[in-house]
Structure 1
Amino acid sequence: MVFAALYRIYAGFINPPQARKEDDAIRFGLLGASNIAPPALITPARSHREVIIAAVAARDRSRAEAYAKKHDLLNDPSIDAVYIALPNSLHFEWALRAIKARKHVLLEKPSCSNGEEARALFNHPLVKAPNAPVLLEAFHYRFHPAWQTFMSLIHDDAVAGPVKHAHAQQYLFKGVIPFDDIRWRYDLAGGAMMDFGTYTVNCLRQILREEPSQVIEVHWRGVPSSQSDQAGGQQIDQAMTATYKTESGATGSIIADLAASGGWPLLPSSWTKNIPSIGWPKCEAELGEKEVESPKSADDEKHFVKRKVTLWNHLAPSVYHRIDVEDTHTIHRDGTLLKTWKESQNLKSYSWPSGDKQAYAGEDWWSTYHCQLHEFVNKIKGREGSGVWVDGDDSIKQMEAIDRTYEKAGMKTIRAKRGISESTYDLYSSSVNAAN
């Protein structure tokens, strides 16, 4: 088991097998040479026979624009697709520029700064047009078999009732992200909700299969004023917790913390409040009771099952993950409880949950990013693939849910208030007119 885990880490993140490239391989240009680029695209591309990394731009705006202009990256006919990992506030502009240049776009999450930008991007005539370039918001975790197995255990109508409550959490211990990092920049649409929070909200939406339309409560912790030297920086969230409710009455909760501290067991909180701490990424679903047919109950008895499913480490399941399934069984007669018991199982999943899903041609060592890249290529090539995708409507609703969270928090944020920047309005208007 340990050897297998080490091999998955080595092959998936350090030194994947080198693939012989196809003649029609997709040539990628990278806009934003950020820390996420190697695991998200550069490393997976080494082992993909249909992907070549052809050009890499810089991380910050001035260097990225200078590189793109000098090398005419978006108008280079040898570049088929671009991966955009620029600061959040630049996603809308450069995604639209790439689409206008007829390049496929793998766009880092969050797709835009706010819902208004997301609606403008994903409803753009150039994006909606027949044979439009492929545009994908990079929620990589959704493409891995572990997540799909988790979802199948939740939405199995044969044994599981409707989802009543969902929870998602992600922590990063205090001190990992320096205070000069772009994540704490108000003008670059930073903040915990725009980083880890995008994952937690996206997980809730997947689990609930409904939009968390009502934000019940929000608590947030800002960047310390002593460290907040950016304009509006005190409006940047270091951590965010929120609870939601759907139209059907299901509830959800999130925790997203980019500087977690305290909470150490067996020690007073006053001693540990400034000591970095970490918790496993976790997604959890609690389902309502469902009556099932069972040989364990007599004709005049009713057998019910109530399920709880937890997925640990959904962001890097190829390194380690575990799916815990707990089924609580009860047998009733005329409304009286006769018997109750629990059945538990712990699962791991490195292959597709349905054995007939032959379109998924992954390896056990594939990271979530490998899985995502595989489906991105399938979409460009017009192949069926696994069927997992993040469409434009999904990305719009995602940003709208984040906007609602910030609005409930009472934060004057660039995400919920700025809208389309003046610097990109002319680009947007001219490309709409050209498309029409």
Structure 2
Amino acid sequence: MRFRDIKDSKQKERKKERKKMFGMFRRIYESFISPPEVPKTDNALRFGLLGASDIAPMSLLRPAKTHPEVIIACVAARDRARAEEYAKKHGIEGVHDSYQDVLNDPSIDCIYIPLPNSHHYEWAIRAIAAGKHVLLEKPSTSNGAEAKKLFEHPVVTAPNAPVLLEAFHYPFHPTWQTFMQLIHNDPLAGPVKSAASYFSTPRGYFGKDDIRFRYALSGGCNMDLATYCVSQIRQILGDSRPKVESVTFRTLSKSEHPENEVEDLEQIDEAVTATFKSKTGAVGRIGSDFALTGTFLGMKVPKLEWAKCIAELEEKEVSGEEEEGKQTKLGDGEKHYVQRMVTLYNHIGPVVYHSIVVEDKHSIKRDGTTTVKSWTQKNTIKAYDWPDKSDGRQGGASWSTYRYQLEEFVNRVKGRKGTGVWVEHQSSMDQMAVLDEMYEKGGLKVRPSRAVEVEG
């Protein structure tokens, strides 16, 4: 290769990298910093917020700016002063004195519930009974018994009942759907052999007084970060109720949380690792930590890692396919096999960056045993938007997982088809049942229910 050719090639690579960086900065800006606001339609859904939560700006307020059919109309908090401060900061017009006042407001169509886990059941039932559609933060409830009561409650199962969605946002994004397609609906994909999901935050990310560290509020890593991992393992394995094989919890330390109650120290899981087995015998593993650390110069320091999912598939016989549709010539008694592994990085916040790495190990075997040829084909895929919008799918490279989720929630409320991606009520019940089983298997208490009477 001539020097000029090498120089031109390097310039093209640098230009390509600059384009990638510009794309990432643009996605971050339009998704998290300054979403482009759109005019609202006359029949836009009016949302009321229960709680002045930290998550709502990312999970609903910013996505709502880019949705023509969503208006954030009001908020209520534990006290009116807090609600007024929150409303002023985020440009919310209405403020109510109490959560119940929001439910009683006839101008409100939908309720968003990002309250502590312990309050999910009560306010979801109250909101549905008031005729409001509900976007309910995950986990749906404190435990499996509450989940069953919620999703099988007459006001939820009644004909034409309001929409109730547990807000697992990640599956609504094209990244996750592409990942699942490569595992379950691809010509080279064999049955799932094993799966893993990891999601942690660095030590110090959550304050020591965070509600996640309160047992009475149904806190714990298993109820927060790890609940994503459990949800993902269930989907990858294709088993809504895999058997919990083993669980190890790391509970809070007195030195790190001196102000916490004894019950918090004994029952709040700061980190969890677990293994599962599906009905087909496939193995699943998760790892999640509220306070992930590494070492630097012999010292423990906070550690940041991308959330990651891995799916290893069984070897599958294929009909000679190779890359780009080419055919592999087979001799007498020879067969072509492929064993696939798919790794997905940052499925929690894919709008910033993500990567789907597909590794296909090909082999030509004679008489099913002797390998006469082998090679590996590796491919990296990005999926910021739907590749095909011929069916009316909406999306954009700057849409976060929450924005895709909001699109489907509105579609369901409006009676439109949408993408078909949804978190079914049975799945939400199964999710909580698995979390309960993990606590029991790991020697901790199932998260408690609050002693409240809810009429519906």
Same fold, TM exceeding 0.5? yes
CA distance in 2, matches of 1:89, 1:71: 17
CA distance in 1, matches of 2:76, 2:98: 10
Rate the CA distance shift 1:189–1:323 in 2: closer, same or farther, 3 A. Answer: same
CA distance in 2, matches of 1:30, 1:127: 20
CA deviation after TM superposition for structure 1 residue 337, in Å: 1.4
Q: Is 1:108 the counterpart of 2:137 in the alignment? A: yes
Rate the CA distance shift 1:391–1:221 in 2: closer, same or farther, 3 A. Answer: same
Match of 1:167 in 2: 196
Match of 1:216 in 2: 245
Taking the TM superposition and a 5 Å limit, the aligned residue runs for 1:7-406 are 7-58=26-77, 67=96, 69=98, 72-226=101-255, 227-228=257-258, 229-234=260-265, 235-262=267-294, 271-272=298-299, 274-294=300-320, 295-296=327-328, 297-334=330-367, 335-353=369-387, 355=388, 358-406=391-439
CA distance in 2, matches of 1:400, 1:10: 39
* Equivalent residues of 2:52, 2:82 under 8 A apart: no
CA distance in 2, matches of 1:22, 1:280: 38
* Equivalent residues of 1:242, 1:254 under 8 A apart: yes
Identical aligned residues as a percent: 53
Secondary structure at the aligned position of 2:250 is classed as strand
Secondary structure at the aligned position of 1:304 is classed as strand
Rate the CA distance shift 1:221–1:60 in 2: closer, same or farther, 3 A. Answer: farther
* Structure number with bigger Rg: 2
CA distance in 2, matches of 1:86, 1:61: 16
CA distance in 2, matches of 1:330, 1:42: 51
CA distance in 2, matches of 1:56, 1:387: 30
CA distance in 2, matches of 1:346, 1:163: 20
Secondary structure at the aligned position of 1:398 is classed as helix
Question: Per-residue CA shift, 1:170-205, capped at 9, x if unaligned?
Answer: 111101111111010010000111110110001111
Matched letter for residue 372 of structure 2: L
Question: Per-residue CA shift, 1:322-367, capped at 9, x if unaligned?
Answer: 00000001111112111111000011012225x2553321111001
Q: How many residues align?
A: 415
Structure 1, gaps ≥5 residues long: 432-436
TM-score, length of structure 2 as denominator length = 0.88
Question: Per-residue CA shift, 1:60-111, capped at 9, x if unaligned?
Answer: 89978x9553871101110000100000000000000000101000000100
CA distance in 1, matches of 2:170, 2:97: 29
Q: CA RMSD in A?
A: 1.9
Structure 2, gaps ≥5 residues long: 1-19, 84-94, 321-326
* Equivalent residues of 1:359, 1:384 under 8 A apart: no
Question: Per-residue CA shift, 1:139-165, capped at 9, x if unaligned?
Answer: 111000111111110112521101111
Match of 2:6 in 1: none
Match of 1:434 in 2: none
* Equivalent residues of 1:74, 1:98 under 8 A apart: yes
Secondary structure at the aligned position of 1:178 is classed as coil
CA distance in 1, matches of 2:115, 2:365: 57
